[in-house]
Amino acid sequence: MSPRILYTTLLIGALAFAGGCTKSEPESSSAQVADAVQGKSPGDQQQAQAAPESGVDYHSFANTDDFLVKHVDLDLEVHFDRKVIEGEAKLQLERLTDQKKPLILDTRDLHIESVRAGHGSQLQPVKFTLGKTDPHLGTPLSIELPQNATTVAIRYSTSPDASGVQWLEPQQTAGGDFPFLFTQAQAIHARSFIPLQDSPKVRMTYNATIRTPPELRAVMSANNDPQAAKDGVYEFSMPQPIPSYLIALAVGDLDFKPMGERTGVYAEPELLDAAAAEFEDTESMLEATEKVYGPYRWDRYDLLILPPSFPFGGMENPRLSFITPTVIAGDKSLVALIAHELAHSWSGNLVTNASWRDLWLNEGFTTYLTNRIMQNIYGDERYRMEMALGYDDLEADLADREDRDEIMAIDLRGRDPDDVFSNIPYEKGSLFLYELEQKIGREAFDQFLLDYFNHFSFESITTEDFLAYLQQTLLQQYPQQLNEARIRQWIYEPGIPEGAPHPRSDAFTKLDPLRDQWLSGEIAAADIDTSDWTFHQWKYFLDGMPEKLSESQLRELDGAFGLTDSKNNEIAFSWLMIAVRNDYQPAFARLEDFLTSIGRNKFLRPLYRNLVDSGKQEMAVRIFEEAKAGYHPLTVKVNSRVIYGPDAS
């Protein structure tokens, strides 16, 4: 998922081992499984534990020490009229115990019609029960299995309000003629449209048959065939094992355009050409990354451009990243997001965090790789600007967070795992890796990353697995340059460690005197030459403005640079933040249009918070209530809390 999306431990020693790093196997505590069977949620028993246990996923009911789902076959039909998906999920299990135990799966608001179990195609009806519903985790599904059963088939249907599914009316799409559906499973929303072990430490392959209205095309995080006839039945296969949060589906009026030998873009016809032109460097990004970090292992890398209500910048669903149209700026200024989602093909999809506590292993590595890709494709200056903006974003986030939420290996027990998403796992994680690079040299660090991706390929690992690997590699190879206590400080303590690198860009520092001269009245805004400014420089210039500006200053900036009418969403966002806190009325029509036409939480959450903090809650409520029917369920949840308080749903 993209950095700056951005919505938003413990001191366990690194695992000792000999002859290679020990990788944690998926498991749940026996107490957690027992409580789920008895109808108690993990949240009930988590509070009794003094510290989180490495390798335990506190956000799943699944008894993964007894069973592992290794493969899923889906046969699903999409009903736009009722806003439900219904059909069958057939799970292939690996049994890890000889004892007769129930299989416990994760669900959320699913209607379970029937369950069969047995061997292969020899299945028989079995008893099942739904346990106590937890507000964050959903409802455990307990299934009584016949002795030695390895196959479970579940017939079910989703709720129209499924947290991981968004249904769009035709008027909410670019074309305006057909409805649209897309799923968003991260962090724990796959359970709202598939009953399974919804934990990132469980990896599975899947096949799917998706049935749709014949005029629409279905695509998935799997092998998509752009030549497939629009006949209402689509077949998919994902042969590489992935965690459940990377299972993704979209259905709509979609066409395809290639961008390279292994890359292309799916989009509504109205957006297709613009998207293909904007992201035409994707193939070059892929090739540049392969040269440094090893081969791309997912066959193709395509993009799906979603309607603007998509709540994130992008989602790294393997083979088919889901992308917001808000990054189509016409000048490739926002394509770092594409580099980020591509980088996840190595960090996140190939090597995955074992729990949401370990998200920094996904996002910190990916943010570091993103910056390197941008340097390789667009040069050193672009690289320095991206790094400097990331550092500024991190500092801003740290100023607004409790100490417990500034820790990379965050304790999320009893909390919604969506709370993990902030600049901490992204930018602090990236800055940590940048310090390692600075201390041992780029060539040596690139070799370490290449070896790391190969060593843990198609594995889900914990923070402690990473530390154990670091002990056996870099800490032994570079004892003078690296210090374990310093590394643990980065991971387990709040804030940025003293002496950490501070990326800077000359392209930004030359703007400081211009801003100061304008603020002091020495120069007029119209006298500032912005002809060669990048969006990064605009963002830096605007974000560095003081909290309060006068009405005349605001009108001068807007008149000189047309900020209210900017077509670049990043520039518009920075300007609208200034407009809200200074009650600049001429920008409020654009503000309302921005909030009602875009669903990206990176923009919405700060703007709604700014409205509330500026005494404009009535305005925030009015716009939100008008817009929320077109927002994703995650967007509604996040911004309800901003506008109505932390207890709002």
- The reported pLDDT for the residue numbered 52 is 83
Say which CATH topology domain 530-644 has: 1.25.40
Is the pLDDT reported for residue 221 higher than 90? yes
- The reported pLDDT for the residue numbered 19 is 30
- The reported pLDDT for the residue numbered 31 is 40
- As a whole number, the mean pLDDT across the chain is 91
- The reported pLDDT for the residue numbered 629 is 85
Mean pLDDT of 413-421: 90
pLDDT band at residue 310 under the 50/70/90 scheme:
confident
Is the pLDDT reported for residue 41 higher than 70? no
Cα–Cα nearest to 105, from 69, 81, 133, 71: 69
Helices (H) and strands (E) in the chain, counts: 22, 21
- The reported pLDDT for the residue numbered 649 is 61
Cα–Cα nearest to 367, from 337, 398, 410, 400: 337
- The reported pLDDT for the residue numbered 43 is 45
Mean pLDDT of 168-181: 92
- The reported pLDDT for the residue numbered 9 is 31
Tens digits of per-residue pLDDT, 444-502? 999 999 999 999 999 999 999 999 999 999 999 999 999 999 999 999 999 999 999 99
Is the pLDDT reported for residue 311 higher than 80? no
Assess contact for 188 and 247: CB atoms under 8 A: no
Q: Which spans in 399-543 are helix H?
A: 423, 429-440, 442-455, 463-472, 474-477, 484-492, 506-509, 511-519, 535-543
Handedness of CA 357, 419, 180, 283 (dihedral sign): negative
Which regions of 350-458 does DSSP assign to beta strands (E)?
351-353
Place of tokens 């956000």: 59
The residue type of 358 is D
Return all residues near 438 (Cβ < 8 A) that are at least 6 apart.
Answer: 501
- The reported pLDDT for the residue numbered 307 is 87
- The reported pLDDT for the residue numbered 57 is 96
Annotation marks residue 426 as catalytic: yes
In this structure, the number of other CB atoms found within 10 A of the CB of residue 6 comes to 24
- The reported pLDDT for the residue numbered 632 is 83
Tens digits of per-residue pLDDT, 554-611? 999 999 999 999 989 999 999 999 999 999 999 999 999 999 988 888 899 999 999 9
- The reported pLDDT for the residue numbered 1 is 61
Is the pLDDT reported for residue 190 higher than 90? yes
- The reported pLDDT for the residue numbered 50 is 62
Burial class (CB in 10 A: 0-12, 13-18, 19+), 3: buried
In the chain, the percentage of residues whose pLDDT exceeds 70 is 92
Give the separation between CA 591 and CA 142, rounded to whole angstroms: 48
pLDDT band at residue 646 under the 50/70/90 scheme:
confident
The CATH architecture of the domain made up of 67-343 is: Sandwich (2.60)
Tens digits of per-residue pLDDT, 244-300? 999 999 999 999 999 999 999 999 999 999 999 999 999 999 999 999 999 999 999
The residue annotated as part of the active site, out of 341, 427, 435, 437, is 341
Asked, colleague to colleague, whether 67-343 and 530-644 share their fold, the answer is: no
In the chain, the percentage of residues whose pLDDT exceeds 90 is 83
Cα–Cα nearest to 28, from 74, 68, 84: 68
The residue annotated as part of the active site, out of 383, 391, 426, 469, is 426
Give the separation between CA 167 and CA 183, rounded to whole angstroms: 9
Annotation marks residue 341 as catalytic: yes
Residue spans per domain, the chain: 67-343, 530-644
Give the separation between CA 185 and CA 192, rounded to whole angstroms: 8
How many residues would you count in the chain?
649
Tens digits of per-residue pLDDT, 420-434? 889 999 999 999 999
Note if the bond before 187 is cis, omega within 30 degrees: yes
Cα–Cα nearest to 425, from 401, 451, 448, 446: 401
Is the pLDDT reported for residue 507 higher than 60? yes
Q: Which of 337-358 are b and which e, b meaning 16 or more Cβ less than 10 Å from the residue's Cβ?
A: bbbbbbbbbbbbbbbbbbbbbb
- The reported pLDDT for the residue numbered 439 is 98
- The reported pLDDT for the residue numbered 46 is 42
